[in-house]
Structure 1
Amino acid sequence: MASMLLGSFSLASSLTAGSYVTKASWYKTKKIQNEYLIIRHQQQHNLKHHYRCIEAASTSKERGRSYSVTAASGESFEYEHQDPRPKSLLVSTKDSLNTFFRFTRPVGMIATAINIISGSLLAVENLSDISPTFFIGLLKAMAVILPMHIYNVGLNTLTDFEIDKINKPNLPMASGEYSLGTVTIIVASSLILSFGLGWIVGSLPLLWVISFNFIFSSAYSMKLPLLRWKRSSVLTAINYIVDRGIMFNLGLFLHMKTYVFKRSTMYPRSLIFAIVFMSIFGIVIALFKDIPDIEGDEKFGIRTLAVCLGPKWVFWFCISLLEMAYGAAILFVGATSSFLWSKLITGLGHAFLASILWYHAKSVDVKSKEETFSFYILIWKMLMAECFILPFVR
């Protein structure tokens, strides 16, 4: 009996011990599995972080390629970056318009539009002339002239493609956003549109404006015998004087005076002043625009005044010329006006512009392409400001 009890006790002990061993093994196995899963999860997390770093550092040309990374466990993972959402029609249209806007050289386009308004206002004799008839004539002038501006910059883009890669690499054609075929279509379409609308409108002075602009801009840019005037600073200055200084302002004045208002031609002092002052601005722009482009011009053998005499000499010559023009405007135009409001606006306005020009000129490093280009844009802004003053010259 005792032996039976002892055997039973031994069997129970062995079963209990076996049970404890089994449970311990199970818990140990479970612990190992959990640790493995944690390590596995950590590796995947690190791998995803690594992919995000690769994606952030990749360039636009590298997008779409596959990346293969080998994990520490020896397994291979592949990641292929693709844009999950294609551009919407609205975004694509916005990008296209932005590219076209940059192609038109927006500073020049805006300055041309403001100059059209200013030249048209020179024909206004009293406030009653500011009527729907005036605005219709103004819109016709805009519709005819602005496409010709696009032709000008487009033709210059075609002929200066290699130079722009150095001087203006952000332009659509130089950067590869526009192809040669695209720019050619834009240039041809703009030219046809300008002359077509000019013919439909039927204003002879507007046809003069776009015809002279077409001839002089083509002579400035085209690589043909006796042309390519941009190679000479003197010919470039003559181009600006005749085209933008004389024909542009005279043509717009006659368009409003004879075609819109149907009046006899009389040439007021405001028109003479506008022609003279805009011609001076034309000379300054023709010379100054070459300062930021010295590197490309030298490489392609374009002997501008900035290349021959140096940027510093041309810079201060342009500043001096503009300052003298502002001084003459104050003394001989503003001070001699018979209207008090004209004296105040033209006198104080030109004094203010002269002080701004001198203030900014003193801090420009003429050896810096970025600073001289920024100042070149400022000169265009000064021209726009002058366009607002011109109609008040009486």
Structure 2
Amino acid sequence: MENNIIKTSLENNWTNHYYKGIEPKSTFDKYEKRPLINAVTTESYEPEPQAYNSKIIIESIIHGFDNFRKFSRFYAFMGLVAGSFFSSLLAVDNLSQLFPTFFNGYLQYIVPHFFMHLYIVGLNQLADLEIDKINKPYLPLASGEFSFTNGIITVASFLFLSFGSAWMIGSKPSLLSLLVTFVLMTAYSINLPFLRWKKSTTLTVMAHAIGMTTSFNIAAFMHMKTFVLKKATTYPRSLFLATVVMAIFFAVVAMAKVFWFCVSLLEIAYGAAILIGASSPFLWSKLFTFLAIVVNERSAWVLNVVFGENLVDNDTNPSFAGVFMVQSDSKIQPGLELFKG
């Protein structure tokens, strides 16, 4: 009897010891497997890093180009391209001089002036930073896309590229034009004693009239005539008329009050072009000039009157800029007609 009791007690003790020994192991295995299951589940939802990085790079490039577009304000530069192109054409005597002499020479003139244009718009944005934060918050410097330090470095680099490229080309009319534009536009924008000419209406008119007519008309013609074509200096009537008209046009600073004056000024340019064309000794030249001027004059009238005056709210900046761009585009056509005459 005692032997059976002892045997039963030993069996119970052995059984309890066995189950106590395996319970921790079973619990350990249970918690040991959970992280493995979670790790596999998380890894299956991770995106491919290469495709994600490519998308970021493309978006950054597009964003950078968009900021440069806002910074450079290309629509203002197109006026210089049109004006200097037609003034340069006045120096050409025959079609054989167009390819490739004329176009190569024109690129030599316009590239340094493009860098100077970027310097001018950049300097103006640096000088008007606090004002632009209110009136033009979309500009890169005003919005904070470009830092002030980076803006200074960028503007200085464009100035160096402008004079450096013109010096390498060696055109004296181009260098003179860049120097005049640099002095006048710097004095117009920078906030230093005796400068910041944009505060004065008279100085503003003077700076724009002299700077623009020099780069748009006189220097472009002289560069093509004396540096590219290597001819003696002459001043045709078309150049004189274009310079006078553009000087008056750039003297206009109160856009909202003188809209119809600007339109009338363009009409005067067309009328003068008709008179010059009528003085041609060739009948076909007279007819062609007259018909071309009539067609383009009507087109310019529609652009300015319909899309400029009637559809524009001068109290809003984007709409006001639209008037400026419409009238800038209209300057191209009188230049073409003056060349035809």
Structure 2 length as normaliser, TM-score? 0.77
Distance verdict in 2 for CA 1:367–1:136, change over 3 Å: closer
- 1:15-164 residue pairs with structure 2 within 5 A? 85-86=52-53, 87-164=55-132
Q: 1:387 offset after TM fit, Å?
A: 4.1
Distance verdict in 2 for CA 1:386–1:169, change over 3 Å: farther
**Aligned partner of 1:323: which letter?**
V
- 8 Å Cα contact 2:177/2:214 also seen in 1: no
- 8 Å Cα contact 2:85/2:106 also seen in 1: yes
| Cα distance in 2 for residues equivalent to 1:268 and 1:336 | 11
| Cα distance in 1 for residues equivalent to 2:83 and 2:270 | 21
| Cα distance in 1 for residues equivalent to 2:158 and 2:270 | 40
Q: 1:363 offset after TM fit, Å?
A: 4.0
1:345 is aligned, of 285, 292, 295, to: 292
Is it true that 1:357 corresponds to 2:304 in the alignment?
yes
Is it true that 1:258 corresponds to 2:226 in the alignment?
yes
Is it true that 1:328 corresponds to 2:268 in the alignment?
yes
Deviations 1:244-268 (A, max 9, x none): 0245310010000000001111111
Which structure has the highest helix share of the two?
A: 2
Which residue number corresponds to residue 10 of structure 1?
none
Consecutive unaligned residues in structure 2, runs of 5 or more: 1-48
- 1:178-257 residue pairs with structure 2 within 5 A? 178-257=146-225
Is it true that 1:287 corresponds to 2:287 in the alignment?
no
Distance verdict in 2 for CA 1:195–1:355, change over 3 Å: same
* CA RMSD after TM alignment: 2.1
| Cα distance in 2 for residues equivalent to 1:195 and 1:336 | 37
Deviations 1:295-341 (A, max 9, x none): xxxxxxxxxxxxxxxxxxxx242x23223223322333313422322
Which residue number corresponds to residue 172 of structure 1?
140
Q: 1:389 offset after TM fit, Å?
A: 3.8
Which residue number corresponds to residue 5 of structure 2?
none
Which residue number corresponds to residue 331 of structure 2?
383
Q: 1:182 offset after TM fit, Å?
A: 1.1
Larger CA deviation: 209-218 vs 99-108: 99-108
| Cα distance in 1 for residues equivalent to 2:236 and 2:172 | 21
Larger CA deviation: 196-205 vs 137-146: 137-146
Distance verdict in 2 for CA 1:104–1:368, change over 3 Å: closer
Q: Which has the higher contact order (CA 8 A, sep 6+)?
A: 2
Distance verdict in 2 for CA 1:387–1:183, change over 3 Å: farther
Deviations 1:195-226 (A, max 9, x none): 11111111000001100110011010011122
| Cα distance in 1 for residues equivalent to 2:251 and 2:112 | 25
- 8 Å Cα contact 2:92/2:98 also seen in 1: yes
| Cα distance in 1 for residues equivalent to 2:200 and 2:267 | 29
**Aligned partner of 1:357: which letter?**
N
Distance verdict in 2 for CA 1:259–1:129, change over 3 Å: same
- 8 Å Cα contact 1:330/1:351 also seen in 2: no
Percent identity among equivalent residues?
Answer: 34
| Cα distance in 2 for residues equivalent to 1:135 and 1:269 | 23
| Cα distance in 1 for residues equivalent to 2:336 and 2:62 | 31
Which residue number corresponds to residue 272 of structure 1?
240
Q: How many residues align?
A: 283
- 8 Å Cα contact 1:334/1:344 also seen in 2: no
Deviations 1:48-87 (A, max 9, x none): xxxxxxxxxxxxxxxxxxxxxxxxxxxxxxxxxxx99244
| Cα distance in 2 for residues equivalent to 1:390 and 1:101 | 31
**Aligned partner of 1:287: which letter?**
A
- 8 Å Cα contact 1:173/1:180 also seen in 2: yes
- 8 Å Cα contact 1:118/1:387 also seen in 2: yes
Which residue number corresponds to residue 32 of structure 1?
none
| Cα distance in 2 for residues equivalent to 1:331 and 1:118 | 18
